[in-house]
RNA sequence: GUCGCCAUCGUAUAACGGUAGUACGAGAGUCUCAUGAGCUUUAGACCCGGGUUCAACUCCCGGUGGCGACACCA
């Protein structure tokens, strides 16, 4: 029987600024979902990468005094290392300056052109020479560009347009489907905007700029970066002929931030329709992070470096915090106090201490050898109940609730120790046998969220690997436990 | 400016139109295997003003406050 496939992507990042905590959130959430599906035994393909063809990069590179390609090479590397530090289990890391991508980007442009849904027209707008970009009337203060305080010029130049307007009905149908955009409020935003504003043709090229992918039918133009960027989801799979493309497309989930919802749920589907390609099954729109209740911004100086947080508290603590604390369907707040509270209360006290007390007792009463006992059906039932709940939550992309369910079982185990009192020597074998099995399963359950810790638990349980979800039932395990270091060192919070 | 989303104990969050729940924090109690951990338990909330209804946290209208989208921002 063929394995079920699961293709998940994150947005690709702009490389003109270093990764911040918001990037970490998106990567970690997608990673947890990807790992969960791997644990289910599915054929998972997890894609992330960097978006490098924006004019911004050329500008930033100039300021840096290095060539644009060198600049993006350096910064893309930073993002890749960032993923590695956070233990992001990507299967591929696409860069839009790679030949394999540019080729497909041009191919899609050409295909849509040949369908006569890209045409040459005139773009008129106001152009700020300071921004080196078109700006909107709304960005003006006293007819001047807010940022550069100069009067922008009116420009009328030729541009290729995509007939987005032709897709009004088809897009409305697509976005109205309940499963396509998650969560509901994000879907409703798009549906009402499509209804109210309607779809207008979209300029998909820029004339006379020096950075970007050339328009295949007219090299004076460069492909609009959004069209180029969106294509990464299929170029990475080797569209149109590669067997990876045939196996994994359409994507099961695109994980994106709310700021780019419109591009992913309106423009991208329309482009795909025009190119006669299947639509992704689902777009998951997560919220944004604030820091101490404030919007992340350079001017406020509250940009948090996730690498520093990871170094200070451990990568799993950061991962756990992002996955558990931030509600899937809305914005969340990052603050160190809350992170420390999760670390001390849930990682150290609930999980760390459970492992510690059980391993200690097995060592103390049985010399470390896992006793042979009778399965406690009730405890085993509780395990499968919480697992099923968690699985449904992951299916609905409510990772925070999935983590909560797993912790529900951890709490049950702590209660189990108290109620059964293994130190009183009545059915001690049975009690500790069941607790051992429970912990073995906990290591499996927490693996998608905190992979490093999961392995540490398995090691203390005398196992050489963490199993997958098939092993989520109580069985006979021959092992010698060995008490290791504390899983999580508690941290005292001082302001 | 146009459009949209949101508003619940101190904090973070739930609730088919029918008893406002959960977690952290705070208070009290208790066990002793364990990382001063665990377990039990108490107190504590529906932004304001109208309307619909036998009944409104829930639906409608208005206000206030927060947030966002509106051609390149996870």
pLDDT 10s digit of each residue in chain A, 495 long?
A: 568 999 999 999 888 888 888 899 999 999 999 999 999 999 999 999 999 998 878 888 887 788 889 999 999 999 999 999 999 999 999 999 999 999 999 999 999 999 999 999 887 766 655 555 555 554 554 455 544 555 666 777 888 999 999 998 899 889 888 788 888 778 888 888 888 778 888 889 888 888 899 999 998 999 988 899 999 999 999 989 999 999 999 999 999 988 888 899 999 999 999 999 999 999 998 888 888 777 776 666 677 889 999 999 999 999 999 999 888 777 788 888 889 999 999 999 999 999 999 999 999 999 999 999 999 999 999 999 999 999 988 988 888 889 999 999 999 999 999 999 999 988 999 999 999 999 999 999 999 999 999 999 999 999 999 999 999 999 999 999 999 999 999 998 765
Output the CA torsion A426→A428→A431→A437 (10° steps).
-170
> Which domain range does residue A413 map to?
335-471
- Domain annotation covers residue A466: yes
Q: What is the largest CA-CA distance in chain A?
A: 87
3-state SS, residue A433: helix
Q: Which of A27, A101, A145, A441 is catalytic?
A: A145
At CA A272, angle to CA A266 and CA A274, rounded to 5? 100
Cα distances from A181 to residues A178, A251, A396, in angstroms, run 7, 13, 11
Other CB atoms within a 10 A radius of the CB of residue A262 amount to: 15
**What is the C-alpha separation between A31 and A109, in angstroms, rounded?**
31
pLDDT for the residue A417: 95
Domain CATH for A428 = 1.10.730.10
Q: Residue A288: which region, alpha, beta or left (left: phi > 0; alpha: psi -120 to 50)?
A: beta
Distance A68 CA to B41 C1' (A): 64
Q: DSSP secondary structure string, A53-119?
A: --HHHHHHHHHHTS-HHHHHHHHHHHHHHHHHHTT---SEEEETTSHHHHHHHHHHHHHHHHTT-EE
Protein CA at A390 to nucleotide C1' at B41, angstroms: 29
Rounded, the Å distance between the CA of A349 and C1' of B20 is: 30
Which residues sit opposite A286 in a β-bridge? A257
| Nearest nucleotide relative to A123: CA against C1' | B71
The neighbour count for residue A324, using CB atoms within 10 Å, is 21
DSSP A435-486: HHHHHHHHHHHHTTT-HHHHHHHHHHTT-SS---GGG-S------B----S-
Q: Is residue A114 part of a domain?
A: no
A295 is a catalytic site residue: yes
Residue A291 in any domain: the answer is no
Is position A351 within any domain? yes
Q: In the sheet that A118-128 helps form, which strands lie side by side, from edge to edge?
A: A133-135, A118-128, A153-162, A202-203
> How many structural domains compose chain A?
1
Closest nucleotide to A138: CA versus each C1': B1
- Indicate yes or no: pTM above 0.90: yes
**Which residues have CB under 8 Å from A102's CB, separation 6+?**
A96, A213
3-class SS shares of chain A: helix, strand, coil, % to 5: 50, 15, 30
Task: Determine, yes or no, domain membership for A436.
Answer: yes
| A128 catalytically annotated | yes
Which residue gives the smallest C-alpha to C1' distance to B38?
A414
Residue A38, in any domain of the structure: no
3-state secondary structure of A166: helix
Instruction: Show which positions of strand B are touched by protein (CB under 7 A).
Output: 1, 3-6, 12-14, 24-25, 31-35, 37-40, 67-74
Q: From the CA of A132 to the C1' of B33: give the distance in Å.
A: 68
Looking at residue A396, its pLDDT comes to 86
A454 falls within a domain: yes
Nearest residue to B73 (CA, C1')? Answer: A259
Taking the C1' atom of every nucleotide in all shown strands and the CA of A338, the nearest one is B24
In a domain, A372, yes or no: yes
Q: How far is the CA of A480 from the C1' of B9 (A)?
A: 47
* Stretch (H or E) spanning A290: strand A289-291
Give ∠ CA A223-A229-A232 in degrees, rounded to 5: 120
A48 secondary structure, DSSP code: E
């Amino acid at each position: 029987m063929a394995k079920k496939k699961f293709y998940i992507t994150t947005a690709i990042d702009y490389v003109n600024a270093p990764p911040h905590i918001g990037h970490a959130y998106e990567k970690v959430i997608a990673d947890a979902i990807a790992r969960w599906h791997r644990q289910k035994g599915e054929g998972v393909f997890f894609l992330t990468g960097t978006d490098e063809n924006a004019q911004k990069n050329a500008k930033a590179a100039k300021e840096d005094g290095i060539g644009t390609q060198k600049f993006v090479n350096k910064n893309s590397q930073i993002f890749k290392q960032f993923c590695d530090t956070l233990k992001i289990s990507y299967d591929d890391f696409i860069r839009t300056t790679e030949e394999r991508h540019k080729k497909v980007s041009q191919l899609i442009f050409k295909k849509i052109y040949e369908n006569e849904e890209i045409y040459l027209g005139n773009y008129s707008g106001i152009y700020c020479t300071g921004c080196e970009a078109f700006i909107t009337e709304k960005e003006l203060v006293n007819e001047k560009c807010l940022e550069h305080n100069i009067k922008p010029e009116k420009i009328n130049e030729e541009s290729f347009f995509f007939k987005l307007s032709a897709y009004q009905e088809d897009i409305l149908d697509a976005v109205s489907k309940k499963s396509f955009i998650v969560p509901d409020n994000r879907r409703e935003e798009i549906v009402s905007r499509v209804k109210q504003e309607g779809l207008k043709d979209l300029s998909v090229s820029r004339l006379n700029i020096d950075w970007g992918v050339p328009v295949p039918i007219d090299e004076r133009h460069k492909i609009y970066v959004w069209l180029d960027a969106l294509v990464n989801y299929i170029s990475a799979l080797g569209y149109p002929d590669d067997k990876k493309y045939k196996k994994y497309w359409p994507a099961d989930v695109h994980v994106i931030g709310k700021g780019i919802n419109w591009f992913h749920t309106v423009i991208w589907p329309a482009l795909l329709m025009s190119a006669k390609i299947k639509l992704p099954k689902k777009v998951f729109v997560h919220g944004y992070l604030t820091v101490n209740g404030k919007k992340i911004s350079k001017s406020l100086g509250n940009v948090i470096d996730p690498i520093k947080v990871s170094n200070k508290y451990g990568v799993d603590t950061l991962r756990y915090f992002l996955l558990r604390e931030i509600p899937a369907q809305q914005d969340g707040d990052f603050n160190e106090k809350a992170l420390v509270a999760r670390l001390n209360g849930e990682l150290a006290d609930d999980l760390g201490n459970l492992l510690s007390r059980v391993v200690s007792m097995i060592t103390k009463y049985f010399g470390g050898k896992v006793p042979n006992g009778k399965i406690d059906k009730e405890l085993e039932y509780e395990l499968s109940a919480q697992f099923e709940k968690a699985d449904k939550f992951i299916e609905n992309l409510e990772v925070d609730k999935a983590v909560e369910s797993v912790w529900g079982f951890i709490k049950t185990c702590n209660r189990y120790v108290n109620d059964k009192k293994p130190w009183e020597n009545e059915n001690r074998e049975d009690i500790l046998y069941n607790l051992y099995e429970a912990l073995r399963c906990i290591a499996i359950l927490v693996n998608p969220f905190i992979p490093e810790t999961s392995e540490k638990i398995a090691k203390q349980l005398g196992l050489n690997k963490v199993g997958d979800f098939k092993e989520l039932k109580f069985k006979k395990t021959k092992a010698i436990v060995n008490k290791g270091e504390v899983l999580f060192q508690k941290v005292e919070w001082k302001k």
